[in-house]
């Protein structure tokens, strides 16, 4: 846990401050089966949170519990995780706002937005917070919308992103 101590401390302080009810963590075996099924290795800090701290956070915009990862009908793509897309390399390192691009959009580039990621929070109105699980951005949280995508600012992994979110925008969950 030493790599995560700072962010975990921040998360635990926010949990205490806002009296967040946590759900029991997921078993490491369940995560391992998920990784084997989809042929991916999840970011270690994401696995740490879900196996050591909590299985998501409830609220209006919930941090999705593990059991909803695969078939979350409310996900931004309306079908959960596609086994063929999740293993492809997420190709982006910088934001892409396709709303500003000329039309028609480059089909191949637009389709690659679905590669190597899945949503952890549905913000509504076509927006979500997604974890990148492949490519150079693996482990970084990105924001997805119907008009474009961009990495979290600053670019941080799941635990740093969650700590920042709980410290600055906890009302997102209410």
Output the pLDDT for position 88: 96
Q: Nearest 5°: phi and psi at 62? A: -70, 150
Using the predicted structure, report yes or no on whether residue 75 has a pLDDT greater than 50. Answer: no
Average pLDDT of 131-152? 94
The pTM score is 0.88
Which among 130, 135, 110 is positioned nearest to 40, based on CA atoms?
135
97: which 2 tokens?
């706002």
Which among 11, 121, 135, 106 is positioned nearest to 58, based on CA atoms?
121
pLDDT band at 170 (very low <50, low <70, confident <90, very high): low
Contact 86, 36 (CB under 8 A): no
Using the predicted structure, report yes or no on whether residue 76 has a pLDDT greater than 60. Answer: no
Which three-class secondary structure string do you get for 100-155? HCCCCCCHHHHHHHHCCEEEEEEEECCEEEEEECCCCCCCEEEEEECCEEEECCCC
Rg from Cα positions in the chain: 16
> How many Cβ atoms sit within 10 Å of the Cβ of residue 112?
17
Average pLDDT, the chain: 86
The CA distance from 69 to 73, in Å, is: 10
What total number of domains does the chain contain? 1
The CA distance from 118 to 58, in Å, is: 18
Model confidence pLDDT, tens digit, residues 101-125: 776 777 888 889 999 999 998 887 8
Q: What is the CATH number of the domain that holds 157?
A: 3.40.1580.10
Q: Which domain holds residue 127?
A: 2-173
pLDDT band at 74 (very low <50, low <70, confident <90, very high): very low
Tokens 């937005």 belong to 113
Model confidence pLDDT, tens digit, residues 35-71: 999 999 999 999 999 999 999 887 656 788 898 887 6
């Amino acid at each position: 846990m030493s790599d995560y101590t700072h962010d975990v401390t921040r998360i635990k302080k926010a949990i205490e401050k806002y009296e967040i009810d946590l759900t029991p963590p997921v078993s490491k075996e369940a995560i391992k089966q998920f990784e084997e099924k989809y042929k991916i290795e999840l970011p270690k800090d994401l696995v740490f949170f879900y196996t050591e701290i909590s299985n998501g956070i409830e609220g209006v915009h919930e941090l999705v519990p593990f059991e909803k990862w695969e078939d979350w009908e409310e996900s931004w793509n309306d079908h959960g995780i596609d086994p063929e897309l999740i293993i492809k390399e997420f190709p982006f390192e910088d934001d892409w706002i396709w709303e500003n691009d000329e039309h028609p959009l480059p089909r191949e580039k637009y389709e690659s937005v679905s590669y190597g990621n899945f949503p952890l929070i549905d913000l509504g109105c076509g927006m979500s917070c997604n974890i990148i699980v492949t490519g150079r951005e693996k482990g970084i949280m990105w924001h997805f919308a119907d008009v474009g995508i961009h990495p979290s600012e600053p670019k941080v992994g799941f635990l740093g992103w969650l700590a920042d979110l709980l410290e600055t925008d906890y009302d997102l969950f209410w």
